[in-house]
Homo-oligomer: A and B are copies of this chain.
């Protein structure tokens, strides 16, 4: 399949790329500062430009989206905007624009994260974005046309990320990157839609 992967340079993006290449898929990578096509997910125009350059694809995958971390008592509407514009709307706009560049029976796979189900301190803004994406996916699935599908993957903290982020996930049992990459593969090559694959 011809697959557009946004966020390919991140830890999960690299794992997903390897997994898909091993299945002989063609990957077009999109990223803020790297990849085949540069894209700023906070800009609808940039997302439209991404698809104009990429052309029609069989699958769209996002392993991207930023959010700021702050305890709620010091979280402001302004700080919350990073998650709104990037992790939430960046991904949803990728789906809304991308559906029109997606072949029949094509799939969209977005990324959420465990903190919406299992909160960590300072994670409310990211959790909000995760929850919004997951609910959008479940609901959008019943509306898509031409056999198009949409799912999301909600990863736990990865074994590969424990050194960098483990302090925020004390007591969480990390999962392997391979399991997370497999969930993306299931979404792409499987037939399910409206699912949130929780890799916990």
A110-141 toward B: CB 8 Å interface, digit per residue (1/0)? 00000111011111110111111111101111
Flag if A88 contacts B144 (CB, 8 Å).
no
Find out whether the CB atom of B77 lies under 8 angstroms from the CB atom of A132. Answer: no
In this complex, how many residues of chain A approach chain B with their Cβ under 8 Å: the count is 45
**Contact flag A96-B119 (CB < 8 Å), given A127-B136, A139-B124:** no
* A93 sits at the interface (CB 8 A): yes
Q: How many copies does the complex hold?
A: 2
Contact of A96 with B116 in the complex, beta carbons under 8 Å: no
Question: How far is the CB of A172 from the nearest CB of chain B, in Å?
Answer: 14
B interface footprint on A140-171 (CB within 8 Å = 1, 0 otherwise): 11111100000000000000000000000000
**In the complex, chain B residues whose CB is within 8 Å of the CB of A136:** 124-125, 127-128, 131
